[in-house]
């Protein structure tokens, strides 16, 4: 039994969905569960829609109409009209209409999950319908009834025992009948509200299903040939890893390597399931395999960039030392605001921390911190993490940049730069 995950870039247009079907056709005869992300940049567009709704912007309906048109144009290229998929997608978009016809009453993160999740609901409807059209029998599955989470919106925490029981109850029988197509990134609460698992969480979804079902492998299909030592959008002459150990992959994702969601590896490691990262444009190529006995070969340093960072420094209002009690209070406020720390540094009188900027969470955190601490911060920064570094690589990366914070260990250097 195999689990495939197709990201937004692989289904960004009609040709992408045709290509997905061609890739799937190569595995006819296999039991196959397919996890699909929202199409192209739909998640970004739905985030924009959510902000417009929450802030009462006049362009709300224009944004929504563009999102709908984008999907309907793809459907028209794939299907003869009329086709049932048009009504299925229209009925799914109605869920957003119901939300935005009234003024927002709930917290932003809850509203975010209810709106942004529609991207995956629509994309999977279209993919499943197209697979059936070309003779690849598939069944659409609503993941929210199988991946159960708590009520931490935008960062749903998976309830593993309940999730595993739900998956075991139904999915094996469905796989006997054909391909199962479901949504990445999403979960459901006990009250039947939608949660999301964190941005780029579709990889994590695939690993949850694989671990629960005892899959032979997971393959995540990307627009790159495998896992590279750096993002090719920012660096030339990148090199591909043929193999990586689970441990090295966990380190890379922890520091922000975007090719795999950080939570993806651990369930697969526990179940000893290999993860393949392959190119959807060259499915015959080997890609990269992550497994327990993988071989790590570092021809070049691994370079990871995280942009749109905040560097925030705290000090006690009475100039006292930053103590364990202070740190306990600070981390409690970070957890309460759902802000994850990317790197940190402490001195006698101050504590500095770098994290991703999310406006609503940052404002909430800032307000709480300012009650007890003096706060200074810089925005619009970049966090550079270099694993297996060399002096020449570090010199090249920091040339012409102002380093605001630096940490060096045996295998890893982290620098917050402006």
Secondary structure of residue 182 in the 3-state scheme: strand
**Residue whose tokens read 């929450």:** 54
Q: Could you give the C-alpha distances from 299 to 35, 83, 254, 356, 395, in angstroms and in order? A: 33, 52, 21, 30, 18
Which of 175, 124, 174, 167 is closest to 146 using CA atoms? Answer: 167
For 340-400, the three-class secondary structure string (H helix, E strand, C coil) is CEEEEEECCCCEEEEEECCHHHHHHHHHHHCCCEEEEEEEEEEEEEEECCCHHHHHHHHCC
Which phi and psi (to 5°) does residue 227 adopt?
-85, 125
Residue 318 makes CB contacts below 8 A (sequence gap 6+) with none
Using only the alpha carbons of the chain, give its radius of gyration: 22
Q: Is 120 annotated as a binding residue?
A: yes
CA–CA separation, 18 and 97 (whole Å):
30
Which of 250, 242, 348 is closest to 295 using CA atoms? Answer: 242
Q: Is 201 annotated as a binding residue?
A: no
Tokens of 378: 């810089």
CA–CA separation, 392 and 145 (whole Å):
51
Q: Is 43 annotated as a binding residue?
A: yes
CA–CA separation, 107 and 17 (whole Å):
35
CA–CA separation, 396 and 393 (whole Å):
5
User: Cα angle vertex 302, ends 301, 305, to 5°?
Assistant: 125
CA–CA separation, 409 and 418 (whole Å):
22
Tokens of 223: 């627009």
Q: Is 178 annotated as a binding residue?
A: no
Strands across the sheet with 302-316, in order?
A: 341-346, 351-356, 302-316, 373-387, 412-417, 403-408
Measured between alpha carbons, how far apart are the two ends of the chain, in Å? 47
Tokens of 53: 């709704």
Binding residues for substrate: 43, 120
Binding residues for ATP: 5-8
Binding residues: 5-8, 43, 120
């Amino acid at each position: 039994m195999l689990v495939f995950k197709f990201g937004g870039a692989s289904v960004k247009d009609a040709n992408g969905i045709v290509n997905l079907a061609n890739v799937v056709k190569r595995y006819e005869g296999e039991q196959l569960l397919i996890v699909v992300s929202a199409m192209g940049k739909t998640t970004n567009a739905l985030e924009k829609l959510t902000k417009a709704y929450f802030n009462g912007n006049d362009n709300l309906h224009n944004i929504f109409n563009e999102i709908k048109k984008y999907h309907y144009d793809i459907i028209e290229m794939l299907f003869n009209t009329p086709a049932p998929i048009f009504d299925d997608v229209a009925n799914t978009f109605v869920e957003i209409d119901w939300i935005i016809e009234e003024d927002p009453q709930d917290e932003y993160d809850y509203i975010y999950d209810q709106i942004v999740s529609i991207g995956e609901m629509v994309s999977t409807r279209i993919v499943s319908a197209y697979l059936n059209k070309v003779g690849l029998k598939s069944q659409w599955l609503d993941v929210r009834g199988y991946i159960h989470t708590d009520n931490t919106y935008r960062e749903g925490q998976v309830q593993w025992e309940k999730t595993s029981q739900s998956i075991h109850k139904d999915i094996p029988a469905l796989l006997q009948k054909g391909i199962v197509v479901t949504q990445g990134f999403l979960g459901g609460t006990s009250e039947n509200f939608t949660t999301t698992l964190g941005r780029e969480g579709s990889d994590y979804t695939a690993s949850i299903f694989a671990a629960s079902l005892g899959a032979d492998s997971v393959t995540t299909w990307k627009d790159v040939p495998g896992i590279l030592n750096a993002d090719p959008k920012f660096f030339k002459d990148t090199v591909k890893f043929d193999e990586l150990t689970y441990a090295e992959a966990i380190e890379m994702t922890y520091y922000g390597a975007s090719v795999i969601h950080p939570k993806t590896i651990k369930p697969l490691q526990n179940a000893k399931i290999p993860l393949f990262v392959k190119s959807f444009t060259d499915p015959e190529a080997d890609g990269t395999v992550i497994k327990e006995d993988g071989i790590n070969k570092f021809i070049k340093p691994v370079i990871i960039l995280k942009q749109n960072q905040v560097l925030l420094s705290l000090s006690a209002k009475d100039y006292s030392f930053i103590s364990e009690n202070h740190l306990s209070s600070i981390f409690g406020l970070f957890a309460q605001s759902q802000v994850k720390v990317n790197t940190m540094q402490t001195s006698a009188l101050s504590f500095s921390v770098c994290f991703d900027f999310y406006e609503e969470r940052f404002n909430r955190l800032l307000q709480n911190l300012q009650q007890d601490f003096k706060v200074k911060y810089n925005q619009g920064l970049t966090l550079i993490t270099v694993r297996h570094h060399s002096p020449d690589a570090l010199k090249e990366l920091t040339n012409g940049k102002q380093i605001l914070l630096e940490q060096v260990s045996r295998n890893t250097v982290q620098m917050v730069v402006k």
